[in-house]
Amino acid sequence: MEESLKYMFAGYSVIWIIIFALVFSIGKRQGDLKKEIDELRRIAEEK
Partner 1 sequence: MRKLITNIVGAVSMVLFVIAFYMAFLFAPTEQTMGHVQRIFYFHVSFAWVSFIAFFVTFAASIVYLKTRKRFWDIVAASSVELGIAFCCIILTTGPIWARPVWGAFWTWDPRLVTTLILLFIYMAYLMLRGAIDEETKRAKFSAVLGIIGFLDVPIVYRSVDWWSRTIHPNVIKKGNIALHPNMLMSLRVALLAVTLFYFFLLFRRIRLEELRDEVKELRKKILKEH
Q: Kindly list the residues in this chain that would bind partner 1 in the complex (CB under 8 A).
A: 1, 3-5, 7-8, 10-12, 14-15, 18-19, 21-23, 26-27, 29-30, 33-34, 36-37, 40-41, 43-44, 47
| Closest alpha carbon to 37 in 29, 5, 13 | 29
Task: Please state the closest distance from residue 17 (CB atom) to partner 1, in A.
Answer: 9
Measure the CA angle with vertex 17, ends 7 and 2; round to 5°: 15
- 17, 36, 40 from 26: Cα distances, Å: 14, 15, 21
Task: Please state the closest distance from residue 35 (CB atom) to partner 1, in A.
Answer: 10
Task: Please state the closest distance from residue 18 (CB atom) to partner 1, in A.
Answer: 5
